[in-house]
Structure 1
């Protein structure tokens, strides 16, 4: 998954999910097949009840099959799949069923724990329902209810795009997922990230993992995995900025017994005060609070005053040596531990403060 980005200070334009785009392609292709005429513009109904119009290209129609392509517009969201080419190919058959086939660039589900069965293309339930609704409507309108339809969804360069996501960790290989519960992409929404956290925990449980490694991102994970080389990748979760949601999902999962959490200094300075969403657009570090922690650790007013002059939490290393025995960091971690353990009190929580040079300090409980 790409690094978290700063939210622009301007009105943000919404976009459409891969599921909505695939549905539009299916409608264009299906109408093209039954009418033998190109459908360059279609309107679909999104799950939230709104209508959305899509423009199609690269339309190909034969007597037996039809395909249409659209370009995904994610609006102002920094979505990995923004401007991706999504194609649907439909074929009529006599099965009376709608079958989904994985095309190039769409992921294959290989691990249990997701909403889609192992061996199926990574097309989530809501997009599947959207596409089936379109198919059944077209069949009914053209007196073809006795027919079945095979739908192949493909994404140009989808396997390359998937490398910038957490799909492989979830057991989704060879491409991206076709997603969306509302059909709309809300710029910089937390919903998709939180959904990936929940999926990650679900996959860990389904693969019999009782111990998790949770980190804000790739840097802290790299260090923590060196400490726990036996922990499988399916047990590694990125919480990003959503610490509360991560521990709430863990608390709902009795199968998880132990959590090893890595956290960088900047996020720890926010978490220690009880800020469980550490995004820079939501919270900033409170220098006065951190100065009080220094006093609690036995430091003088002079040291506390130095903290008040800092412009970034990362510069605390200029005042306190980054070492296991440093009392200030142990106090900082004590408060971080308190806020996380309060959400998931039955979990054995091990907390690691991680430095930029990959060294670490473990909280001494």
Structure 2
């Protein structure tokens, strides 16, 4: 048995920054070794990042390439190439020394005027590190490219949260903690045990969006537990710790898996979301042609929008009926899952929200827990 600690890695902004440093140094005719050093800022640490390739494209333009290494995570960006094209701008008309752009494979924010999905930590990291390599009067444009970004984005929930055509340069830290590595579960379980001593009800948040929306909904932050994809083991731990009630708070494209009995929610391990949605459509009496349309939807969010459009056109309430069925099934199957392993009844409620970060449905038990 391998009891080695899971290995942490680095987030995408770190590799983008390293590629940019390599390209800029190349333009300055500085010899590039196998790595470049950069300051992560968060946390405060200097690290060496391997450089895959670097070359001048033109006299004032260079390309640097790194390869993503997220550590021991089930992360679809593993071994993804990250390109940074740096151009030294002559006769610049701007006061900005560093202009950051997103190229191919960097997503666009549909709810933010199609801005590049390059967020605050990535920008801070790039500005801080590249400035140290700039000459005093120099202005550069750095364009970040993820050649496989558009393809990989189809396997994420990015579109559900308003990012299309690629991946995001997201994160608040340079370290990619092994949240999906098995030994990380122990940390989550310890947090749950501590909260179980303080509260009869805890709130399981599936992902950062669930965590953020739960807090904005007025739920006590001390009751919140981010589960990552370790939902099944944490539910059992809650039962063992005699937690009275659990409110499941998450994006419908994740929580819907529980209605199908899938309690490890990482897409690498199990899916079935489309089939679960169609099954509940059949349960409440949708016609075969409509069920066939639902089955062809690429994502659960697409299915939700199709149902809402149908309701609008026909004056029906299929969306409400299907999601009521899903929420009640999630509650029931989750309670059964815990009872399968622990002789203790935990009261389960659920809240499902959509891409617009608006709540789609709250189960009856969920309403009770929210109002308690």
TM-score per shorter chain, which class? Answer: 0.5 to 0.7
Q: Quote the Cα distance in structure 1 between the aligned partners of 2:88 and 2:39.
A: 23
Q: Which range is displaced more, 33-42 or 59-68?
A: 33-42
Q: How does 1:125-274 map to 2 (within 5 A)?
A: 125-139=120-134, 142-144=135-137, 147-188=138-179, 194-197=207-210, 213=252, 215-217=255-257, 219-220=272-273, 223-224=276-277, 227=281, 233=301, 262=326, 268=332, 270-271=334-335
Q: Which residue of structure 1 lines up, in the alignment, with residue 35 of structure 2?
A: 41
**Structure 1's 348 and 284: CA in aligned 2 closer, same or farther, altered over 3 A?**
closer
Return the alpha-carbon distance in structure 2 between the equivalents of residues 197 and 51 of structure 1.
32
CA distance in 2 between partners of 1:35 and 1:79 (Å): 35
Q: Is the CA contact (8 Å cut-off) linking 2:107 and 2:165 kept in structure 1?
A: yes
1:57-102 residue CA offsets vs partner (Å, 9 max, x unmatched): 2211232111111111111111110111111111122123222222
Distance 1:196 1:82, change over 3 A: farther
Return the TM-score normalized by structure 1: 0.57
Q: Greater Rg, structure 1 or structure 2?
A: 1
Q: Is 1:336 matched up with 2:331?
A: no
Structure 2: 5+ residue runs without aligned partners? Answer: 189-204, 216-250, 258-270, 295-299, 305-322, 353-358, 366-372
Partner of 1:12: 6
Residue in 2 aligned with 1:29? Answer: 23
Q: Tell me the residue number matched to 2:87.
A: 91
Is this contact kept in 2: 1:60–1:67, CA < 8 A? Answer: yes
Determine the C-alpha separation between the residues in 2 that align with 1:83 and 1:185: 14
**Superposition RMSD in Å:** 4.2
Measured after TM superposition, the shift of residue 269 of structure 1 is: 5.4
Runs of at least 5 residues in structure 1 that lack an aligned partner in the other structure: 1-7, 203-211, 237-258, 273-277, 291-331, 353-365
**Structure 2 Cα separation of the partners of residues 60 and 264 of structure 1:** 58
Q: 1:178 to 1:200 in 2, by over 3 A?
A: farther
* Distance 1:221-1:9 versus aligned 2 partners, 3 A rule: farther
Cα distance between partner residues in 1 of 2:143 and 2:276: 41
Q: Distance in 2 between matches of 1:119 and 1:157?
A: 20
CA apart distance, 1:200 = 8.2
**2:117–2:163 contact (8 Å) kept in structure 1:** yes
- CA shift, 1:197, in A, is 3.5
Give the TM-score, by structure 2 length. 0.56
Other structure's SS at 1:178 match: coil
Change (3 A) 1:347 1:19: closer
Equivalent-residue separation in structure 2 for 1:271 and 1:85 (angstroms): 43
Change (3 A) 1:118 1:285: farther
1:82–1:267 distance in 2 versus 1, CA, 3 Å? farther
CA distance, structure 1, for counterparts of residue 351 and residue 114 of structure 2? 37
Report the Cα distance in structure 1 between the residues aligned to 2:351 and 2:149, rounded to whole angstroms: 37
Aligned residue pairs: how many? Answer: 250
